[in-house]
Amino acid sequence: MILGATHYASKFMIVTGPVEKIRKEIWVLLFGAAAIKAANFMTIPFIAVFLIKNSQLNSLQVGMIVALSPLASLLGGFFGGQLSDIIGRKVMLFSSLFMLSLIFFGFYLAAGQTDIGMKLMLFSLLNACCGLFSSLFHPVSAALMGDLSPARLKGKIYQLRYFSINVGAALGPVIGGWLGANASRTNFLHTSYFYLCYALILTAIFIRKSRMEPATAVKRSSFKASCRVLAGDRRLQYLILSGLLFNLCYSQLESTISQVLVSQFADGVKYFSYMLTANGLTVIVFHAPVYAIGRRVGLNMSLLAGSVIFALGMMLMTLQTWSVFFLFAAIFLISIGEAFVFPVATELIERLAPDSLRGSYFGASTFRNLGLAIGPVVGGYVLTHYGPIPLFVFISMTAIASAIVALYGEQLAASTTIQQSI
């Protein structure tokens, strides 16, 4: 069924380039990227809602539980990527999927607990484990796509991966609502079944094909050697810092902007819902032309252009009190900007990575997600003390700064290479 779906996707999703040359294993991984994001969005965003409605936990306790997942994912992504270079992608992929199935089944059981203390402890542990094992899957999956792809198709595949993730994010809440109330414990069970089925299908496909690793044997690096290389790669460090800054800006979409809309519009919640839908649809619809433009102008110019377009969208948000038109014009620009930046950032990481350390590089790149954790705090502080207009100006400047940091890292690395050659 999945292979049939991926064959259909190869004919429909992207109209630019030789999609027929993309291996079926990659289509399975792309399907998994979308399906896993959908499964997570079917449940994870509603954990706070479930706990508030079905327990006596206060907002602080719920917030602490929810925060454990992104914190655990930072460590999981880094160490998981390195482990995949040491013990192999196959072990990491399959074990993370089977563990996620068990974790969501654990959520289902924990949701039925009547003891508040036990429920708090179980949800805290399970949410941390969910962040940990989810972060093991994603960088390893991205690294494996790079292993299985010829150089000429890597950019297209990472663009497809970003597209797939956005499709999953858009479908997840809808599927959750169709299966049952979003605050229902049965959604945890449905998600557990999905992970189990996908793990079994993926295992069967890759074991049968016997192509889990690249056709050419790659020398594996030790954990210590991986850390030494990562610590010495200044281009990678600047890319991670650039991604952290851009994620700080991007996090405002689901944090401070919602607060601004609710405070300034009578139908603020409705407009926020429409805004998120418009964001997802824009990325999905315009992802192919954005990819085509990016191939023409190059990766660095794509990163700069995307950051500037994103910044213009944030600046336009300062006018949203005049008319709702400016709100949706702003979100259109923001969406186009992110469609340029995110896939390009992934491809830049891939180009830096030696074959033996591809998993380690993708794992290290998950530290960019620290911006998603600190963004709401920084944005909330600026909004509280200075108001919405200074907030949007600050975010616009930070978005442009993120591109400057990445380009500076590229220039610094290039000048260092020239000096060494002299």
CATH code, domain carrying 10? 1.20.1250.20
- Within this chain, do residues 165 and 271 fall inside the same structural domain, yes or no? no
- Within this chain, do residues 405 and 261 fall inside the same structural domain, yes or no? yes
Residues with Cβ within 8 Å of 189's Cβ and at least 6 positions away in sequence, in order, are 104, 105, 108
User: What is the pLDDT, as a whole number, of residue 18?
Assistant: 46
- Within this chain, do residues 180 and 318 fall inside the same structural domain, yes or no? no
User: What is the pLDDT, as a whole number, of residue 51?
Assistant: 66
User: What is the pLDDT, as a whole number, of residue 13?
Assistant: 45
Domain end point (choices 184, 212, 240): 212
- Within this chain, do residues 120 and 174 fall inside the same structural domain, yes or no? yes
Q: Which residues of 94-128 are buried (b: 16+ CB within 10 A; e: fewer)?
A: bbbbbbbbebbbbbbebbeeeeeeebbebbbebbb
Residue 220 counted as domain residue: no
- Within this chain, do residues 109 and 240 fall inside the same structural domain, yes or no? no
Residue 222 counted as domain residue: no
Residue 171 counted as domain residue: yes
Q: Select from 136, 80, 151, 153 the least CA-distant residue to 351.
A: 151
- Within this chain, do residues 183 and 278 fall inside the same structural domain, yes or no? no
- Backbone φ/ψ region at 88: left (φ over 0), alpha (ψ -120 to 50), beta: left
User: What is the pLDDT, as a whole number, of residue 418?
Assistant: 45
- Within this chain, do residues 158 and 307 fall inside the same structural domain, yes or no? no
- Within this chain, do residues 74 and 139 fall inside the same structural domain, yes or no? yes
Given a contact cutoff of 8 angstroms between Cβ atoms, the answer to whether 179 and 187 are in contact is yes
Residues with Cβ within 8 Å of 176's Cβ and at least 6 positions away in sequence, in order, are 41, 42, 43, 46, 182, 187
Given a contact cutoff of 8 angstroms between Cβ atoms, the answer to whether 384 and 255 are in contact is no
- 127: which 2 tokens? 């949410």
User: What is the pLDDT, as a whole number, of residue 58?
Assistant: 61
Residue 217 counted as domain residue: no
How many degrees, rounded to 5, is the angle at CA 272 between CA 271 and CA 278?
85
Distance between CA atoms of 320 and 333, rounded to whole angstroms? 13
Residue 302 counted as domain residue: yes
Domain end point (choices 183, 212, 241): 212
Domain end point (choices 166, 186, 212): 212
User: What is the pLDDT, as a whole number, of residue 67?
Assistant: 61
Residue 344 counted as domain residue: yes
User: What is the pLDDT, as a whole number, of residue 180?
Assistant: 52
- Within this chain, do residues 146 and 266 fall inside the same structural domain, yes or no? no
Residue 219 counted as domain residue: no
Number of domains, the chain: 2
User: What is the pLDDT, as a whole number, of residue 306?
Assistant: 96
Distance between CA atoms of 114 and 119, rounded to whole angstroms? 7
- For the full predicted model, state whether its pTM sits above 0.95: no
- Within this chain, do residues 291 and 364 fall inside the same structural domain, yes or no? yes
- Within this chain, do residues 184 and 73 fall inside the same structural domain, yes or no? yes
Residue 221 counted as domain residue: no
- Within this chain, do residues 232 and 206 fall inside the same structural domain, yes or no? no
Distance between CA atoms of 132 and 69, rounded to whole angstroms? 7
User: What is the pLDDT, as a whole number, of residue 394?
Assistant: 97
Which amino acid is it at 321?
A: T
User: What is the pLDDT, as a whole number, of residue 137?
Assistant: 80
Domain limits at 39?
Answer: 1-212
Distance between CA atoms of 392 and 396, rounded to whole angstroms? 6
Given a contact cutoff of 8 angstroms between Cβ atoms, the answer to whether 214 and 358 are in contact is no
User: What is the pLDDT, as a whole number, of residue 184?
Assistant: 64
Which positions of the chain have pLDDT values less than 50?
A: 1-19, 181-182, 211-219, 417-422
